[in-house]
Amino acid sequence: MPFEPIITGNVGVPNAWEIDVYESRGGYRALAKALREHQPEELVDLVSKSGLRGRGGAGFPAGRKWSLIPKGAPEVYMVCNADESEPGSFSNHELLDWDPHSLIEGVIIGSYAIRARVAFIYMRGEFWKPTGQRMEAAIAQAYARGYLGRDILGTGYNLDLHLFIGAGAYVCGEETALLESIEGNRPMPRPRPPYFPPSIGLYGKPTAVNNVETLANVPHIVLNGAEWYTRLGNPPRNPGTKVFSLSGLIKRPGNYEAPLGITLRELLFGYGGGMLDGRTFKAVTPGGTSTPLLTAEHLDVRMDYDSLPAVGTYLGSTGLIVMDDTVCIPCAVYHMSKFYQHESCGKCTPCREGTSWINAILYRITHGQGREEDMPLLLDLSDNMGGRKTVCALGDFAGFPVTSSIKYFRQEYEYHIRYGRCPTSCQPAEERQWTISQP
């Protein structure tokens, strides 16, 4: 099927981040149409009808999220989550580098749909050169052209847009932690109930928090209609496209926009060019390391919000880190566990303690000191961190790579525990001293 990229259409276009280039390619036409021809409620309906689902990972219908904002609330906020920190995901990063205006346009339309007067783009702290700089410049350009500020395009609608830059914390990608961060507090997630952002969000006011890619889709839906969108991808429940980030041991790492519902095989071996020469595929993180692994037996699974849960994993933020037959799975999972141990915010005991325990146990397994009881202990710990025992899902995330790798690669753990070394020669000892430190 011939495939026209939708949201990455401007990636690679020289100076795509300049407003003149963006406008010359049809930019801000959707904004004019939305503000002049539609009432806010009509836009919420339009996005609901399109079936667009939140691209941050959970796949919550974007239109429904907007419709949860109480009508007539005096103070409402729109927040764009650009804190892309999931290991393996780098699609927002590239999109923001090249096409900041498409996000700004989406943010303005979304803000209008929920009648917000102030919007924020929350970008992770590491994205400054050139990502943050380009976004700042793009916002200034949008103000200068009358797309932001007072009386936008003469319609009487006012909107202020702030770029808010974080300072390095994975947990800020969690929507309530992100709001805490903007409020100047330690970014620890809030319990839900009662702190559902559409009811009690930023500064205690109703707030819509949407992912970059979700909002970047909105102008295209406004221009082409909901009907058009529902025919893309894997309708009816998974319409549209997704930007998949391929990395790890694969021939052509990079971002690829593809229809939702594409098979894992086509993604890895078509778009990604397949494995490195002489290697065979072993495992992949379908949605960043925070999703259970997939293996060679899953190559024909369709990548969308409903097909992946059927095989026990999630689409997440579509960061596919590819591991081939040279990779020792316990060592790779040890690396993932370091991340969660470092990024757990410490609010909930199961996650704060559990991530450290898992890290320490994986350390001893991968260092020739594994014990017979370690595998049941890892499974027990993962079980005690997951399943809504913590305020946010970080505890679940930390357990996913552990439980799924034990499910599919139990023999590698057994080998490590029995013989005290890797079943594959995954890493030379002289490197190991730098990458593996005593927890």
Strands (DSSP E) contained in 249-349 are: 254-259, 281-285, 294-295, 319-324
> Considering beta carbons, is residue 44 or 293 the nearer one to other proteins?
293
> Considering beta carbons, is residue 327 or 351 the nearer one to other proteins?
327
- Shortest Å distance, C-beta 42 to other proteins: 27
How far is the C-alpha of 285 from the C-alpha of 330, rounded, in Å? 14
- Shortest Å distance, C-beta 118 to other proteins: 6
> Considering beta carbons, is residue 243 or 381 the nearer one to other proteins?
243
- Shortest Å distance, C-beta 126 to other proteins: 6
How far is the C-alpha of 238 from the C-alpha of 53, rounded, in Å? 8
> Considering beta carbons, is residue 46 or 345 the nearer one to other proteins?
345
Which tokens go with 97? 């580098």
How far is the C-alpha of 403 from the C-alpha of 392, rounded, in Å? 19
Cβ–Cβ under 8 Å, residues 243 and 123: no
- Shortest Å distance, C-beta 226 to other proteins: 26
> Considering beta carbons, is residue 181 or 390 the nearer one to other proteins?
181
Which residue in the block uniquely carries the two structure tokens 């439980």? 403
Mapping DSSP to helix (H, G, I), strand (E, B) and coil, where does residue 97 land? Answer: helix
- Shortest Å distance, C-beta 88 to other proteins: 6
How far is the C-alpha of 272 from the C-alpha of 258, rounded, in Å? 12
How far is the C-alpha of 115 from the C-alpha of 70, rounded, in Å? 10
> Considering beta carbons, is residue 193 or 434 the nearer one to other proteins?
434
How far is the C-alpha of 199 from the C-alpha of 141, rounded, in Å? 33
Give the dihedral sign, CA 222/225/230/232: negative
- Shortest Å distance, C-beta 39 to other proteins: 25
Which tokens go with 321? 């880190």
- Shortest Å distance, C-beta 166 to other proteins: 7
> Residue 79's beta-bridge partner residues?
120, 209
DSSP-derived secondary structure letter, 189 = P
Which candidate, 332, 329, 327, 330, places its Cα nearest to that of 426? 327
> Considering beta carbons, is residue 51 or 147 the nearer one to other proteins?
147
Which candidate, 350, 373, 370, 349, places its Cα nearest to that of 412? 370
- Shortest Å distance, C-beta 321 to other proteins: 5
> Considering beta carbons, is residue 47 or 215 the nearer one to other proteins?
215
